[in-house]
Amino acid sequence: MTASTSARPGVARAPSPRGRPRRRRRLAVGARRPGSVVVLVIATLLVLGPFLWMVSLAFTPEADAFGSASLVPADPTLDNFLRAWSGGALGRAFLNSLLVTTVAVITNCVFATAAGYAFSMLPFRGSSVLFYTLIATVAVPVSVTLIPLFLMAKTFPLAGGNDLAGVGGTGLLDTLGGVVLPYIILPMNIFLAKQFFDAFDKDMAEAARIDGASELRIFVQVYLPLARPLVAVVAIFSFTGVWDDFLWPLVVTSSQDMQTVQLALTRFLGSGNVQYGALMAASVLVTLPVLAVFLFNQRHFISGLADGSVKG
C-alpha cells in the first residue's frame, strides 16, 4: 500500500519531502521504535481476525460452526459454498449485480469523464455554477431522494404496463433497469475527472485545434488515451459503490429474481435459525469480485489517493 508510483502522466507531483526512502534507513528507524510497530501489528491482527474467522467458518461443516474456536477447520468442506450458490440462488443475484454494475461502470466512464473534461478544459458561461450544483448533490442524504425515486420508478412512462402518463402498471419497480437508475452518473466521478484534467497540459488541445480537429476528437483521441488512470479509478469506484449498495436495491426490488448480491446475503438470515456456514461462504463469494478489482488496480487506486493529498 505504499504510495510510490504516480500513474498519471502530466500530473506534476511534488517530490516526496524525504526523498526516496532507502530500505536500510527504514528498517533502522522502525527498529528504534519497536513499541509503535508492536501496537500496529496488534491493531492489524484485531482488524484481520474477523475475516480469518469468516473464511474459516465458510469451510467448516455447519454442525461444527459453534464451539470450535480453532482457526483451521478440522474437517474442511466446500459444502457451504455449494449450498450458498444453489440453495441461496446466489448465481442469479451475481448475474443481476454484474449487469447493473457493468452498465453503471460504462455510463460513468463515458459521461462523467466527458463532463469532468469539459468543466476543466472547455469552460462555458455558467459552467462553474453548474459544476458546483452537480457536485453539491453528493451531500443530499439517500433518504431524501429514496421515496421520490421509488415513486418515479413506479410511474416510469410505458414501462411495466404503464401508459404514457405512467399509470396502470408497476413501471420500473422490480426490474434491473429500475435498480440502475441512481447509479448512471455518480457525481463524485465528475469531480474526480475535473481534478484530473485540471492538472493536464492545455497546449495539446490548442495544437490539435490549429490542425482543425473537433473538440470531440481532441477529447477522444488526444486526452482520453492519456487519461487511462482516471478511467480506471472511475471504473473501480463505480463498480465497488454499486456492487456494495444495499438500500436502493432493497426498496426497488421485491422478487428474489431481481435481487442483487447484497440483498441475497440477507436471505441466509432466516428467522432465528441463521445458517452461519452458508452465510459466511456467501459473504466470501460476494466479497471476491471487489477484492479482485482492488488488487488488480491497487496502483491506480493508491496513486489517485496520493496525488490528491500531495497537491495540498
Partner 1 sequence: MTSSTVIAGAAVAAAPGRPRRRRRRGSFTGLWFVLPATLVIGVFTLIPVGYGLLLSFTEYSPLSRSGPEFVGLENYAGLLHDPQFRQSIGVTVRYTAQVLPLLVVLALALAVLANKPFRGVGLLRAGLYLPHIVSLTAVSMIWLWLYSRDGLVNEALDLLGLGSQRWLYEPDTALNAVSVMRIWKALGSNMVLLLAGLQAIPQHLYEAARCDGASAWQQFRYVTLPGLRTMLVYVVTMDVIYLSQSFAEIFVLTQGGPLGATTTANFLIYEEAFQANQMGGASAMAFVLFALIAGFSFVSIRAMAGRNR
What residues numbered 167-226 form the site for partner 1, per CB under 8 A? 181-182, 184-192, 195, 198, 209, 215, 219
Q: How far is the CB of 89 from partner 1 (least distance, A)?
A: 16
Distance (Å, whole) CA 142 – CA 138 = 9
Q: Which is nearer to partner 1, 126 or 164 (CB)?
A: 126
Binding of partner 1 by 21 (CB under 8 A) = yes
Among the residue ranges 5-13, 73-81, 88-96, 122-130, the one whose residues contact partner 1 (CB under 8 A): 122-130
Q: How far is the CB of 238 from partner 1 (least distance, A)?
A: 8
Q: Which is nearer to partner 1, 25 or 78 (CB)?
A: 25
Contacts (CB under 8 A) with partner 1, residues 127-156: 127-128, 130, 133-134, 137-152, 154
Q: How far is the CB of 48 from partner 1 (least distance, A)?
A: 5
Contacts (CB under 8 A) with partner 1, residues 51-110: 51, 53-54, 57, 66-67, 69, 107
Phi/psi of residue 272, nearest 5 degrees: 80, -40
Q: Which is nearer to partner 1, 78 or 122 (CB)?
A: 122
Q: How far is the CB of 86 from partner 1 (least distance, A)?
A: 19
Q: Which is nearer to partner 1, 36 or 221 (CB)?
A: 36
Q: How far is the CB of 78 from partner 1 (least distance, A)?
A: 19
Q: How far is the CB of 249 from partner 1 (least distance, A)?
A: 11
Q: Which is nearer to partner 1, 79 or 244 (CB)?
A: 244
Binding of partner 1 by 12 (CB under 8 A) = no
b/e sequence 11-39, b meaning 16+ C-beta within 10 Å: beeeeeeeeeeeeeeeeeeeeeeeeeeee
Binder to partner 1 among 5, 9, 13, 41 (CB under 8 A)? 41
Binder to partner 1 among 15, 70, 124, 164 (CB under 8 A)? 124
Residue 210 CB neighbours (<10 A): 8
Q: Which is nearer to partner 1, 83 or 154 (CB)?
A: 154
Q: How far apart are the first and last CA of the chain?
A: 20
Q: Which is nearer to partner 1, 40 or 82 (CB)?
A: 40
Contacts (CB under 8 A) with partner 1, residues 249-288: 250-251, 262, 265-266, 269, 274, 276, 279-280, 283, 286-287
Binder to partner 1 among 31, 63, 164, 165 (CB under 8 A)? 31
